[in-house]
Amino acid sequence: MPEQVFNLATPHGQLHARCWTPADATCAGRTPIILFHDSLGCVALWRDFPALLAEATSRKVIAYDRFGFGQSAPHPGGWSIHFIEDEARLYFPLLRNALNIGRFVAFGYSVGGGMAASCASLYADDCDALITMSAQAQVDRGIVDGLRQAQAAFAQPGQLERLAKYHGDKAAWVLHAWLDTWLSTGFADWRIGQSAPHVRCPLLALHGDRDEYGSLEHPRLIARLTSGPSQVVVLPDCHHSPQREYPALVLQAVRRFLAQVN
């Protein structure tokens, strides 16, 4: 499948993005899917999922590295407990403007789900659908326990080097931006409804029943965000990475959902 690579010039430095366009001619009449990666992620860590998603849905798929991640420039500063809304308000518009993205489908994985929801809320007139996968709706005991376990794991020798393969000298910042924010007392009261108060589009929430960073209460809460139709798909025997564990089930669910949208 054709893949385009973009290194976009912005006031904050380079913003790295890639685009997969299916050969199906019907793609031209369908809004593109924008992928929002997780707390430790980047475009490269989506692996072959964007291409499979483009093929399954006959839609263009665009993924980008947020500032501070992957091949994009370091984060410009001002990181705060409002980072989810900040992504939608400050940085996503740079991608939209550079690639001339009008209407879109927002698809977010893990914390990217919160960012996708925030974009669906802030740009409600342009968002045709919202898809979250393994997304968090609040900070609860289960998430904190999962983060503490991850914190201990990343303290072991060689773990930071694994991140550096994808984030270079930004790896330490990536790790601390994740752990320090989610474990901070200032973020403890966060709820996804604060970041996405005005969602109107159809919504699909995908979640594994063994997700180590969120119980099944999370997709149920996410499904209540929208004033439009919503559905929850629970993936059995699945942890936090459905796109790697059960890609066929994810693609099937997304294809069926988007077939009802337009």
Domain boundaries, the chain: 3-259
pLDDT tens, residue order, the chain (262 aa):
789 999 999 999 999 999 999 987 567 789 999 999 999 999 999 999 999 999 999 999 999 999 999 999 999 998 999 999 999 999 999 999 999 999 999 999 999 999 999 999 999 999 999 999 999 999 999 999 999 999 999 999 999 999 999 999 999 999 999 999 999 999 999 999 999 999 999 999 999 999 999 999 999 999 999 999 999 999 999 999 999 999 999 999 999 999 998 6
129: left (phi over 0), alpha (psi -120 to 50) or beta: beta
Dihedral sign of CA atoms 96, 98, 99, 100 in order? positive
Beta-carbon contacts of residue 125 (< 8 Å; ≥ 6 apart): none
The pLDDT score that the predictor gives to residue 78 is: 87
Residue type, 37: H
Amino acid 28: pLDDT: 73
**Which of 57, 60, 29 has its CA nearest to residue 259?**
57
Residue 40 phi, psi dihedral angles, 5° rounding: -110, 10
* H or E stretch at 112: helix 111-122
Cα 194 → chain centroid: 17
Count of beta carbons in the 10 Å neighbourhood of residue 247: 17
d(CA 260, CA 255): 9
| Burial category of 185 from C-beta neighbours within 10 Å (exposed 0-12, middle 13-18, buried 19 and up) | exposed
The secondary structure element, H or E, covering residue 208 is strand 203-208
Residue 24, classed as helix, strand or coil, is coil
What does the pLDDT read at residue 191? 97
What are the φ and ψ backbone dihedral angles of 174, each rounded to 5 degrees?
Answer: -60, -50
Q: CATH topology for 3-259? A: Rossmann fold (3.40.50)
Residue 184 has which token pair? 């901070």
